[in-house]
């Protein structure tokens, strides 16, 4: 009973946390500052290799301020800092100067290496992720120059006083050739376009669930699930029937056998009775698998249940935070419920516990 109470409290906490994170009031008035955080850069073909955004010589703000990240964002490897772009709510801008920067030879070498490896950048605007490329290589010419994008165009959709969607585009007409090793002065610019939409705030994350670069939202095929469950039950029943027939024949044989136990040759299931209470070869590993393995398996089941009922993750890092908060009460409940009876029973039979 205690285990079910703990699990109910855990689920209630996770649901409350998910609802709070997904329905937070991100409301703004015209001209309000909406936070834009530059997160990281890395090669497109190796997503696990990431670096800080300002490891490349972009236009840093006068004072680089790091965002206070939650546990899930830290586990996700985010490195968010304030960006220099000013994307105020419903404030259109056209060719706004971000900064005028003189690129040295070292800066050009860093940008060339990034463009060669197809580096992308990631930012977050009102908890919405955006991606874009740093530059491109002009493979149509023999010189194969490296071109750096110097202009970004932000298009933001809003519904009343909330941000619904944001996209960023790079203009191929605004590039600078960084092939040669000579210092150049570059004007980095950006533009902002606000467009009204009727999409509700609760559905603003649907775009990312349908994106090809993110996990697809899978439709639940209940018929297939029920069919699989029935198949498993039938196979389990067939196996149980076979085992019961074998055990029944052995019981009848041993009950009518008048031979002494010393002369009796053990066969069938009784042949392995000596191994039932024998110590396993790796007791510590067995204990870890029995304990943590059960907890992780139960955690996976509850995560699938949360996914089935549609608990969304509208804030960054929430997908990593919820399993951690769910694991702790599960760990306590399974430790209290499962381990003491197992230890007592094995101790009575073998003289000591497994842990």
**DSSP state string for 156-208:** EEEETTEEEEEEEEE-TTSEEE--SSS-EEEEEEEEEEEEE----GGGTTHHH
Residue 19 in this model has a pLDDT that exceeds 50: no
Which segment of 64-73, 203-212, 219-228, 272-281 scores lowest on mean pLDDT?
A: 272-281
pTM: 0.57
Q: Provide the pLDDT for residue 281.
A: 76
Distance, in Å, from the CA atom of 136 to the CA atom of 115, rounded to the nearest integer, reads 6
Q: Provide the pLDDT for residue 72.
A: 64
- Residue 156 domain flag: yes
pLDDT category of residue 152 using cuts at 50, 70 and 90: very high
Core vs surface per residue 3-21: b (16+ CB within 10 A) or e: beebbeebeeebeebbeeb
Residue 116 in this model has a pLDDT that exceeds 70: yes
Q: Provide the pLDDT for residue 349.
A: 43
- Residue 323 domain flag: no
Q: Which domain holds residue 186?
A: 31-202
Q: Provide the pLDDT for residue 18.
A: 45
- Residue 184 domain flag: yes
- Residue 296 domain flag: no
With tokens 């290589």, the residue in question is: 137
Distance, in Å, from the CA atom of 114 to the CA atom of 215, rounded to the nearest integer, reads 26
CA-CA-CA-CA torsion for 205, 206, 211, 216, nearest 10 degrees?
A: 110
- Sign, Cα dihedral of 130, 135, 137, 140: positive
Pairing mode of beta strands 81-82, 119-125: unpaired
pLDDT category of residue 168 using cuts at 50, 70 and 90: very high
Q: What percent of the chain has pLDDT over 90?
A: 17
- Residue 5 domain flag: no
Residue 137 in this model has a pLDDT that exceeds 70: yes
Residue 201 in this model has a pLDDT that exceeds 50: yes
- Residue 39 domain flag: yes
Which H helix or E strand runs over 11?
helix 2-22
| Cα angle 229-234-238, degrees, rounded to a multiple of 5 | 150
Closest CA to 111 of 186, 191, 171, 167: 186
Which H helix or E strand runs over 137?
strand 135-137
Residue 13 in this model has a pLDDT that exceeds 70: no
Q: Provide the pLDDT for residue 212.
A: 47
**Average pLDDT, integer, range 208-236:** 70
Model confidence pLDDT, tens digit, residues 283-326? 777 776 666 677 777 777 777 776 676 555 555 556 666 676 67
pLDDT category of residue 262 using cuts at 50, 70 and 90: low
Whether 139 and 102 have beta carbons less than 8 Å apart is answered as: no
Average pLDDT, the chain: 75
Q: What percent of the chain has pLDDT over 70?
A: 61
Q: Provide the pLDDT for residue 163.
A: 92
Q: Provide the pLDDT for residue 265.
A: 57
| Cα angle 20-25-28, degrees, rounded to a multiple of 5 | 165
Distance, in Å, from the CA atom of 132 to the CA atom of 146, rounded to the nearest integer, reads 17
Which segment of 65-74, 233-242, 312-321 scores lowest on mean pLDDT?
A: 312-321
With tokens 């940008």, the residue in question is: 111
Q: Provide the pLDDT for residue 47.
A: 76
12 vs 123, residue with greater confidence: 123
DSSP 50-73: -EEGGGS-----SS--B----HHH
Number of domains into which the chain is organized: 1
């Amino acid at each position: 009973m205690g285990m079910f109470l703990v699990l109910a409290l855990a689920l209630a906490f996770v649901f409350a946390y998910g609802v709070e994170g997904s329905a937070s009031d991100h409301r703004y008035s015209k001209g309000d500052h909406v936070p834009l955080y530059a997160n990281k850069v890395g090669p497109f073909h190796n997503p696990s290799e990431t670096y800080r955004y300002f490891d490349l010589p972009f236009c840093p703000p006068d004072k680089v301020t790091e965002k206070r990240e939650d546990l899930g964002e830290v586990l996700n490897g985010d490195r968010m800092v304030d960006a220099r772009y000013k994307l105020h709510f419903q404030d259109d801008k056209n060719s706004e100067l971000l900064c005028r920067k003189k690129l040295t030879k070292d800066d050009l070498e860093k940008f060339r290496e990034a463009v060669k490896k197809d580096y992308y950048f990631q930012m977050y605007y009102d908890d919405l992720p955006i991606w874009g490329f740093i530059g491109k290589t002009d493979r149509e010419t023999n010189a194969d120059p490296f071109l750096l994008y110097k202009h970004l165009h932000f298009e933001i959709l809003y519904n009343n006083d909330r941000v619904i969607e944001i996209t960023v585009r790079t203009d191929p007409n605004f590039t600078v050739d960084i092939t040669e090793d000579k210092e150049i002065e570059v004007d980095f610019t950006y533009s902002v376009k606000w467009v009204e939409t009727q999409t509700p705030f609760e559905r603003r994350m649907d775009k990312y669930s349908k994106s090809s670069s993110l996990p697809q939202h899978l439709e639940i095929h209940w018929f297939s699930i029920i069919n699989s469950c029935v198949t498993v039950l039938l196979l389990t029943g067939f196996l149980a029937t076979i085992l019961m027939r074998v055990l029944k024949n052995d019981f009848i044989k041993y009950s009518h056998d008048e031979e002494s136990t010393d002369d009796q040759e053990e066969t069938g299931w009784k042949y392995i009775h000596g191994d039932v209470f024998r110590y396993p070869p790796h007791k510590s590993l067995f204990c870890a698998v029995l304990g943590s393995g059960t907890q992780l398996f139960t955690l996976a089941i509850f995560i699938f249940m949360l996914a089935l009922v549609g608990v969304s993750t509208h804030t960054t890092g929430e997908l990593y935070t919820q399993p951690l908060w769910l694991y702790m009460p599960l760990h306590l409940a399974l430790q209290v419920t499962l381990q003491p009876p197992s230890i007592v029973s094995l101790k009575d039979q073998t003289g000591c516990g497994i842990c």
